[in-house]
C-alpha cells in the first residue's frame, strides 16, 4: 500500500517504537512531499530536544532515538518532487484555508491514501487493521469482532456466554441474542470474573467469556485467579484492538508494550492460543470447547465500534439470563 504522510504524524510515529515498526512493514510504502523533508528533520530534532529538557528522555537515549528515527526515515521514506503533484495546488489550498501554504501533503493525498490530519485519513491503528503484516514468519490479518463472535456461537447450543461491556456485548447481541447471553452493564473488566464464578458453580457446563483487551487490562488479577482455580470448561476470548474504541479509540498498553497472551501464560494458564486467521481462531475455539482446563484465546481485531446496540434493561436481562440457564 502506498501512503502519503504529513510531517506532524511522521514525527509522532518516529518517536514511538510501534510507529517505527509500522514504517518497516514490507507491505507499506510511505511517501512525503519533498518540500517538507527538511521540516520533518527539524521538527524531529526539536521534539527530542524538548523531551530531553523535560527529563522524559535521558540524553544518551535521546541520541539513540534520533539516530534510529533518522535511519528509518532515510531507509523507508520516499520523497516526491513538487512537479509530480503541483497541478493540484489550487484545490489543495482550498481544502486547508487556515494554512493554505501547507498544501503539499494534501495535494499529494489527492492521488493516494493518506496517513495524517487535515483530510480524509488513516490512523495508525486503522491502518494496521487493514494491512497484512509479517509476524513469526506468518502473514496475519487483523480480524473482525462480529465475524469471530459468530464463529464462536456456531459451536454453542445452550451454553452461558458472558460478554464484557461495550462492543463485546454489542457484537454478541448482533451475532445472536440468546437467553443464555449475559451482557455486562458498567462493570468494566469483570466479565471474566463473573464467568469464572459461574464456571466454578457449575463445573460440568461449558462457559464462554467474550472480552476486550481494555477490560482485561482493568482486571489482570482475574487471569491469576482463573489459573489458580482451574475451571474445567472455561473459555476466555480476548479480542484485542489496542484501543478503547467505544470512547474514541484511545490507545492502551496493549497497543505498544503489553502482551496479554504472555501475561496469561505467566499467570499460569497453560492453554493460551494466539490465532492469526479467522480459520485458526475457529479451530482454537473448537479445541478449547472439547478439552478440559481453562483456555484463553487472544486475537487481534480491527479497531472500530459495533454497528448495533442492545436495548436491554439490566434487571430484565438478569431475569432473562436466569431463565435461559435454568437446569
In a domain, 137, yes or no: no
The verdict on 230 and 284 lying in the same domain is: yes
Average pLDDT, stretch 251-258?
82
Q: Do 94 and 199 share a domain, yes or no?
A: no
Among 90, 122, 154, which residue terminates a domain? 122
Q: Where residue 133 falls among pLDDT bands split at 50, 70, 90?
A: very low
Q: 75 and 158 share a domain?
A: no
What residues make up the domain containing 215? 145-324
Q: When comparing pLDDT for 236 and 127, which is higher?
A: 236
Cell reading at 286: 473448537
Backbone angles phi, psi at 119, to 5 degrees: -135, 180
Same domain, 314 and 167: yes
Q: What is the pLDDT of residue 97?
A: 66
154 and 285 share one domain: yes
Query: Strand, coil or helix: what is 296?
Result: strand
pLDDT for position 110:
67
Q: Residue 90 domain-assigned?
A: yes
pLDDT tens readout for residues 285-315: 999 999 999 999 999 888 778 888 888 889 9
pLDDT of 263 reads: 94
CATH number at residue 151: 3.40.50.970
Phi-psi region at 249: left, alpha or beta (left = phi > 0; alpha = psi -120 to 50): left
Q: Could you tell me the pLDDT band of residue 134, with boundaries at 50, 70 and 90?
A: very low
Q: How many domains does the chain have?
A: 2
Do 94 and 203 fall into the same domain? no
* pLDDT one-digit tens code per residue, 24-75: 776 677 777 777 777 778 888 888 888 888 888 788 888 888 888 878 777 7
Q: Determine the straight-line distance between the first and last CA of the chain, rounded to whole angstroms.
A: 54
Whether residues 315 and 204 fall in one domain: yes
- pLDDT given at position 254: 86
User: In this structure, what C-alpha cell is assigned to residue 242?
Assistant: 489496542
149 shares a domain with 115: no
Confidence of residue 121 (pLDDT cuts 50, 70, 90): very low
**Do 116 and 149 share a domain, yes or no?**
no
Q: What is the CATH number of the domain that holds 29?
A: 3.40.50.1010
Residue 320 φ then ψ, to 5°: -60, -45
Cα 222 to its chain centre, rounded Å, is 21
In a domain, 284, yes or no: yes
Q: What is the mean pLDDT of the chain?
A: 83
Supply the pLDDT for residue 118.
Answer: 42
Higher pLDDT, 115 or 93: 93
- The Cα–Cα gap between 230 and 161 comes to 18
Q: Is residue 81 packed enough to be buried (19+ CB in 10 Å), middle (13-18) or exposed (0-12)?
A: exposed
The DSSP H or E segment spanning 176 is: none
Residue 132 lies in a domain: no
Q: How far apart are CA 260 and CA 256, in angstroms?
A: 11
What is the rounded average pLDDT of the residues 209-219? 96
Structural domain includes residue 127: no
pLDDT at 2: 65
Q: Do 18 and 52 sit in the same domain of this protein? A: yes
Amino acid at each position: 500500500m502506498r501512503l502519503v504522510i504529513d510531517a506532524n504524524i511522521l514525527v509522532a510515529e518516529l518517536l514511538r517504537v510501534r510507529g517505527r515498526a509500522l514504517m518497516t512493514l514490507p507491505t507499506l510504502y510511505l511517501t512525503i512531499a519533498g518540500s517538507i523533508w527538511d521540516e520533518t528533520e527539524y521538527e524531529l530534532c526539536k521534539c527530542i530536544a524538548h523531551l530531553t529538557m523535560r527529563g522524559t528522555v535521558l540524553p544518551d537515549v535521546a541520541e539513540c532515538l534520533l539516530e534510529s528515527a533518522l535511519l528509518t526515515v532515510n531507509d523507508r521514506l520516499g520523497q516526491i518532487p513538487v512537479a509530480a503533484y503541483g497541478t493540484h495546488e489550487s484545490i489543495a489550498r482550498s481544502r486547508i484555508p487556515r494554512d493554505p501554504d501547507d498544501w503539499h501533503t494534501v495535494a499529494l493525498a489527492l492521488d493516494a491514501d493518506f496517513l495524517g490530519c487535515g483530510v480524509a485519513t488513516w490512523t495508525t491503528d486503522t491502518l494496521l487493521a487493514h494491512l497484512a503484516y509479517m509476524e513469526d514468519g506468518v502473514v496475519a490479518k487483523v480480524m473482525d469482532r462480529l465475524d469471530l463472535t459468530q464463529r464462536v456461537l456456531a459451536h454453542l447450543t445452550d451454553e452461558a456466554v458472558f460478554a464484557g461491556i461495550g462492543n463485546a456485548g454489542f457484537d454478541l447481541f448482533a451475532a445472536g441474542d440468546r437467553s443464555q447471553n449475559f451482557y455486562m452493564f458498567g462493570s468494566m473488566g469483570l466479565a471474566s470474573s463473573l464467568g469464572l464464578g459461574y464456571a466454578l458453580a457449575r463445573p460440568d457446563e461449558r462457559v464462554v467469556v467474550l472480552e476486550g483487551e481494555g477490560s482485561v487490562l482493568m482486571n489482570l488479577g482475574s487471569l491469576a485467579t482463573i489459573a489458580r482455580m482451574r475451571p474445567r470448561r472455561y473459555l476466555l476470548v480476548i479480542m484485542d484492538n489496542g484501543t478503547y474504541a467505544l470512547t474514541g479509540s484511545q490507545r492502551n498498553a496493549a497497543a505498544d508494550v503489553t502482551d496479554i497472551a504472555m501475561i496469561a501464560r505467566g499467570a499460569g494458564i497453560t492453554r493460551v492460543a494466539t490465532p492469526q486467521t479467522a480459520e485458526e481462531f475457529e479451530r482454537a475455539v473448537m479445541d478449547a470447547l472439547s478439552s478440559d482446563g481453562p483456555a484463553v484465546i487472544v486475537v487481534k481485531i480491527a479497531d472500530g465500534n459495533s454497528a448495533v446496540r442492545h436495548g436491554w434493561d439490566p434487571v430484565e436481562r438478569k431475569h432473562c439470563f436466569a431463565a435461559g440457564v435454568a437446569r
